[in-house]
Structure 1
Amino acid sequence: MTTPLIGITMGDPAGVGPEIIIKSLAAMTPAQRAGIRIYGNRDSLIAAESVLITGMDLSELDIHHTDIPGPLPAFGKLDDRCGEACFQFIKAAVADAMTGDIGCIATAPINKAALNAAGHHYDGHTGMLAHLSGSKSSWMLLASERLNVIHVSTHIALRDAIGRATTERVLATIRQGDAHMKRTGLSRPRIAVAGINPHCGEGGLFGTEDDEFLAPAVAQARAEGIDVQGPISADTVYHRAYNGAFDLVIAQYHDQGHIPIKLVAFDTAVNVSVGLPIDRCSVDHGTAFDIAGTGRANNTNLNHALAYAAKLVANPKAKP
């Protein structure tokens, strides 16, 4: 059997996506590049190559091309045509992933303002991928060498995130995190649930959500045989996980999980979508309009995302 392709979506054509893709592919062997399909705009890739001058022959690349009407979008400029284009790149990649034509999608960054200006109202990649793949729920997991975090909620207001941390949602997050970590090679992942209130509420002094909602979720997961502890005060649990006590932390909301990961693994963390019928991982940075088109974009994060994608392709999801 041949190994399924990894599909890279180019992201916003005005951002650094075209450049980091060219940099990463230029460093590969021809055999490695043969395992990659790019979902993007060929002219934007050519423009990036004209800046980088890697010498790579773009005609040899597997490119699923999408036209962009009008003149080529300028690097570093917000353009609703780019929002439409990046949606079409992702839509095509999801369709191929759903049929098994590609084994995993690795996404370059999109610009949410451009996406919404084009009429596609999503909170980001994860919500868009869930909609396109017909998924009711999805989770964001940030993976790095020494710290892994999965979120109960992500792109919602903090006041709404507190209400989102129900026993059912926290339990579902624990289950999804446990299954994903097992898929990456851990036979019995050690999971910690971060508390939502300071000191997990300190017995009700600073809130009761930890006792009312989080603790029952942990108890149920433990009853199912999952190795999980908590809730544990968020001001210590990430330090403990980073130093080897836990394989995965359940973060209750966006910043609670993103801040520690970006502190310790800013250039290497990989954004993984969990709970979808397809596999997707991504760089954990934005479109960087301020340096787009200058050749200064760092492709280290994309290299890590592609390595993680290869690991998922090698360990495919169990069929439902």
Structure 2
Amino acid sequence: MQDVKAPIAITMGDPAGIGPEIIAKTLTAPTFTTQCVVIGDPLVMQGAIQQVSVNWSIHEIKSPEEANFSANTINLIASSHFTQLPKVGEINADNGKAAFDAIVTAIELAKTDKVSALVTAPIHKESLSLAGIKYPGHTEILAHYGDSDKVAMMLANQELRTVLVSIHCSIREVLDRINFDGQIQAIELAQQGAKALGFQQPRIAVAGLNPHAGEGGLFGREEIDIIQPAIKASQAKGYLVSGPWPGDTVFMQARQGKFDIVVAQYHDQGLIPVKYMGIEAGVNITLGLTFIRTSPDHGTAFDIAGKGIADHASLETAISYATQLINCKNQGANHVL
């Protein structure tokens, strides 16, 4: 159980995906004891409760202080009000707007310390776009509404941790985002993120952009002209950072214990190694915010939505990480996850 007074907020995610189902499965599990409030739609969450066949009810509240953590009750702050259940697996604007509104509502609660952390269920980027929402994903929404201009995505499991220099953009655009300031920011946030997890002097590895980390300039000069200078500047601050290391071996070395965290240059370079080890064990942590945010390391899974077969292990892991981050923060980050 979390060592905090304020509950953890869980956003519903896209109502047509598996988010409501995995939330219902998690909160109604007999062994689950963490105090949480759901931000989302009452009708959708009631439908999820019925789907998992438990005799629980929705307790609709206006603020976390009104939560009643008695048995067989899910506390919910309504951020939308559907009049009929959305069709599962469907991409549409109403679903995107509902998912977005839940996130924004939860951010305001986190910014005012009414909740101790924010855990987000998966959203669908196409539904967001259809709703006229310009942000490509959670990270960008959190950065804007969380009033943070320097954020990064960290993916973590028990063996690997990685922070991304560039996130949701095309491979062509990655090259424009690989600059000195971006490297410095990612290294700094990797330092902060690893320390938040309890690493007192984190060993940071920076992956190269090009094959073989550029092979001394034969395969590109980004490592020589951009990445190496940023590493040296970070070393001057006292960070235990090294590289650039070839992207095809650096995660293997991290898993073997040589590094505590890896700075990856682009989305798939960093996420594939973590996800390959099991989506149920991976958690997305947003660095650079004034509050704690974690999420499962999977998407809306429209192909299985509504079938009652979604695995809620990754959401449980995300809540567990949020709880441990809260406790590490309260205890001076003396414990490693």
Pick the TM interval, shorter chain: over 0.9
Distance 1:135 1:163 in 2: 22
Q: Distance in 2 between matches of 1:257 and 1:207?
A: 20
Q: Residue 261 in 1 paired to residue 263 in 2?
A: no
- Cα separation, 1, equivalents of 2:193 and 2:82: 40
Structure 2 stretches of 5 or more lacking a match? Answer: 60-72, 333-337
Give SS of 2:163's match: strand
Q: By how many angstroms is 1:278 displaced? A: 2.0
Q: Does 1:56 align with 2:69?
A: no
CA distance in 1, matches of 2:200, 2:329: 16
> Please, which moves more after superposition, 5-14 or 57-66?
57-66
Listed as ranges, the matches of 1:217-296 within 5 Å are 217-296=230-309
Identify the residue that residue 28 of structure 2 maps to in structure 1: 26
Equivalent residue runs for 1:130-149 within 5 Å: 130-149=143-162
Percent identical: 39
User: Number of paired residues?
Assistant: 316
Offset at residue 68 of structure 1 (A): 3.2
CA distance in 1, matches of 2:238, 2:248: 27
User: What TM-score does the superposition give when structure 2 sets the normalisation length?
Assistant: 0.90
Distance 1:96 1:194 in 2: 36
Query: Would you say the 8 A contact 1:68–1:81 is kept in 2?
Result: no
TM-score (norm 1): 0.95
Moved more, 145-154 or 260-269: 260-269
SS of 1:192's equivalent in the other structure is strand
Deviation of residue 21 (structure 1)?
A: 0.3
**What is the aligned partner in structure 1 of residue 41 from structure 2?**
41
Distance 2:197 2:116 in 1: 15
Q: CA 1:56–1:70 in 2, change beyond 3 Å: closer, same or farther? A: closer
Q: Secondary structure at the match of 1:122?
A: coil
Distance 2:307 2:269 in 1: 33
CA distance in 2, matches of 1:248, 1:78: 36
One-letter code aligned to 1:310: T
CA distance in 2, matches of 1:89, 1:200: 41
Please say if 1:109 is aligned against 2:122.
Answer: yes
1:204 alignment counterpart: 217
Query: Separation in 1 of the partners of 2:285 and 2:307?
Result: 28
Q: What's the CA shift string for 1:45-103, capped at 9, x where partnerless?
A: 11112221033344422200133344221212122111111111111100010100011
Q: 82, 94, 98: which is aligned to 1:85?
A: 98
Deviation at 1:264, TM superposition (A): 1.3
280-289 vs 65-74, greater mean Cα deviation: 65-74
Amino acid at match of 1:12: D
Structure 1 distance, partners of 2:297, 2:263, is: 18
Q: Indicate which of 163, 167, 175 corresponds to 1:154.
A: 167
Query: Aligned partners of 1:238, 1:182: CA distance in 2, in Å?
Result: 19
**Secondary structure in 2 matching 1:235:** coil
1:124: Cα distance to partner?
Answer: 0.3
Q: Aligned runs of 1:9-24 on 2, under 5 Å? A: 9-24=11-26
- AA paired with 1:26? T
1:299 paired with 2:301, answer no
SS of residue paired to 2:286: strand
In structure 2, distance between residues paired with 1:78 and 1:171: 38
Between the aligned partners of 1:199 and 1:66, the Cα distance in structure 2 is: 48
Instruction: Deviation per CA, 1:104-150: give whole Å up to 9, x if none.
Output: 10000001111111111111000011111122121000010101110
Name the structure 1 match of 2:9: 7
TM-superposed deviation, 1:315: 3.3
Looking at structure 1, the residues matched to 25 and 203 of structure 2 have their Cα atoms a distance apart, in angstroms, of: 36
Letter in 2 for 1:21: I
- 1:166 is displaced (CA, Å) by 1.2
Contact 2:43-2:81 within 8 A present in 1 as well? no
1:180 equivalent among 193, 210, 214 = 193
Of the structure 1 ranges 233-242 and 68-77, higher mean CA displacement relative to structure 2 is found in: 68-77
Give the Cα–Cα distance (whole angstroms) in 1 for the partners of residues 303 and 171 of structure 2.
28
Alignment partners' CA distance in 2, 1:146 and 1:315: 18
Shift in Å, 1:290: 1.0
CA distance in 2, matches of 1:223, 1:262: 33
Distance 1:67 1:233 in 2: 47
